[in-house]
């Protein structure tokens, strides 16, 4: 019999491992959310991309193009059928593009959904197939910022989230 409380926790951990991996540019955290050979659809036109071919290239693209990203999940609904589950999660993703000679600093906002097919293999729930769907997008100039003395987060393993347990 499936322990759905544990299954929901594992599924939630996978979803959050992916978002942390994307925002901290950590391909290992991205891959940890998926079973080996898992396929992603919706990131490249008319293509199913294996997670192993996705994680490092997406990290490199995000590192090169944006100074910061933040992916937020909400409204996650998980439906179980034996050792399989479908999870739908709303995604609101912010991408800050630095200013260049032609454009001011810009905020790219993506609103959509992850539709994830999970499988329980060897007592591990992970994503076996992901579908990304867009609902709306927006690009806007960042003309003004909050006056502050906030410490900026790091987009790598120098961020405090990675070192707290070792201190």
pLDDT at 112: 97
Q: Where does residue 39 fall: left (phi above 0), alpha (psi -120 to 50 degrees), or beta otherwise?
A: beta
Reference 11, options 97, 3, 57, 44; nearest CA is: 3
- How many domains does the chain contain in total? 1
- Domain with 75 in it: 4-166
pLDDT at 167: 55
Instruction: Give all strands (DSSP E) within 7-81, no chain letters.
Output: 34-41, 48-50, 68-81
What is the full per-residue pLDDT of the chain (167 aa) written as tens digits?
678 999 999 999 999 999 999 999 999 999 999 999 999 998 777 889 999 999 999 999 999 999 999 999 999 999 999 999 999 999 999 999 999 999 999 999 999 999 999 999 999 999 999 999 999 999 999 998 888 888 888 998 889 988 887 65
Q: pTM score, two decimals?
A: 0.92
Query: Beta 48-50 vs 124-141: how paired, if at all?
Result: unpaired
Supply the CATH number for residue 45's domain.
Answer: 3.10.450.50
């Amino acid at each position: 019999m499936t322990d759905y409380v544990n299954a929901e926790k594992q599924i939630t951990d996978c979803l959050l491992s992916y978002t942390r991996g994307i925002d901290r540019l950590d391909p290992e955290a991205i891959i940890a959310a998926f079973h080996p050979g898992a396929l992603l659809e919706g990131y490249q036109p008319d293509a199913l991309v294996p997670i192993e071919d996705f994680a490092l290239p997406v990290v490199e693209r995000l590192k090169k193009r944006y100074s910061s990203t933040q992916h937020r999940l909400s409204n996650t609904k998980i439906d179980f059928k034996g050792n399989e589950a479908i999870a739908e999660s709303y995604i609101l993703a912010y991408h800050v593009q630095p200013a260049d000679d032609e454009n001011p600093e810009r905020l790219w906002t993506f609103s959509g959904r992850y539709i994830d097919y999970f499988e329980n293999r060897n007592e591990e729930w992970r994503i076996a197939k992901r579908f990304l769907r867009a609902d709306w997008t927006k690009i806007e100039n960042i003309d003004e910022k909050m006056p502050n003395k906030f410490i900026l987060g790091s987009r790598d393993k120098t961020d405090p989230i990675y070192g707290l347990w070792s201190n």
